[in-house]
Structure 1
Amino acid sequence: MLTADAGRTVKVKLIPGNKYLLKNINDDFAPENITLQRVDKALHIIQEGDTQPSIIIEDYFNGDPNNPVLMGMAEDGLLYAYVPLSGESYDTGYLMADGSMSPVALGGEPLGAGGLF
């Protein structure tokens, strides 16, 4: 579980097989919209209204075709994946060229109940 604080950047190293759940610091809900940026092998997570990443997942782009998607709990209490607003598939992680940015939002089919997190 990754909790973003606007005052500092949280850095974590990708652990294969882990799931990454985002949530706000003040409640259990995830930010609805975020922007992802690829910087070399790292995935930068930039919250709406920010210019700098609040979370960096190091080695996200390590060549593994099964990198995890980010998830969050919506206000309905269910977990959803962050899906690209472009409509591109996210089934194998977020495929991005180095330096590119992609706006994403919670969406798609529910992935289960989020109350346990």
Structure 2
Amino acid sequence: MAAARGGLRGLLRAAGVPGLRGRPGPPGTRLLGQPAGPRAGPEPGSGGLPEGVEYIPTRKKGKNPMKPVGVAWAIGLPSGIILFLLAKREVDKDRLEQLKFRRKMMEANQGEYQTERYKSVARGA
């Protein structure tokens, strides 16, 4: 009658499964093929394998495909910024040097430049 009222819980109670409220079942009662006594199994330190058998994993752990990308960004971004700043500094140095030379040439070109050689050509034309 308990099985009809409580469903699965009633069946488990009727079988005498420990841990459920109600009266325990008679000694030696089994549920779903489990032995009634203490569990017989491998020793706790053996890892569940018989003696002389070694566990060899058949499948390796998957690698994260984004790890090399992250490393490349971590190295590439700062080095790219540093290289850009160094190249910019060199370009600015060259531009300043060219500007100085151009200024000196402009200052040197001011004034009268007619010499004796070109006076006759300029007058005759």
Under a length normalisation based on structure 1, what TM-score does the superposition of the two structures give?
0.18
TM-score, normalized by length of structure 2? Answer: 0.17
Identify the structure with the greater strand proportion: 1
Bigger RCO (CA 8 Å, 6+ sep): 1
